[in-house]
Structure 1
Amino acid sequence: MANCKPASTPADTSTKASNSEGNLIFDALWYRSMAGALQYLTLTRPDIAYAIQQVCLHMHAPRTCHANILKHVLRYLKGTIGFGLHLLATATLSLLAYTDTDWAGCPDTH
């Protein structure tokens, strides 16, 4: 996958993974190992959480379509290698967050 074409999204939303579509993959250990590693990566890359959740639903009997989802995530990661949450040790405890929510239209909830 080192020379693969990067993907612009973490998951292909036009198709849905099926429990019975496609053949069972030959190397289920590879599939489970990659899925586990990517599940760990969701700690700093929450943008892949949905796609990895879909992959993990099929750990018991992964099929070729599920392996394709996994490969799509790897292609996405190749194109977005600089993205992610950067967790650094600091002397002060502070949290900085941004949102695009428009609170002006929300009723007061005192």
Structure 2
Amino acid sequence: MPKFLIQSTYTTEGTKGLLSEGASGRRAAVEQIVTGLGGKVEAMYFAFGEDDLVLIVDFPDPVAMAAVSLNVKASGAVHTRATPLLTLDEIDEAARRQVSFRAPGK
């Protein structure tokens, strides 16, 4: 299953919701949306600084990740960034593939 790193920042309203329901309430909400699309939450950490929440999730396909991203962002309570994560074997496979590329100006 494709794996993604999700970095999130709460808006003021999102932070108020977090204060109201606590971290365990947010964990339950995240689990529900991820498992509802056939995914799995591998790790979930709260942080402070640029990001408020960091997750590693598995989804059956990138479209499931996009569906979650669209719905979460539409709430207006959270700003998110999703980064696809690749295994070492996947990078080795990518390195073996022949790609014809011409650099700009060459």
Give TM-score, length-normalised by structure 1.
Answer: 0.27
Q: Which structure has more strand as a fraction of its residues?
A: 2
Larger Rg: 1
> TM (normalized to structure 2)?
0.28
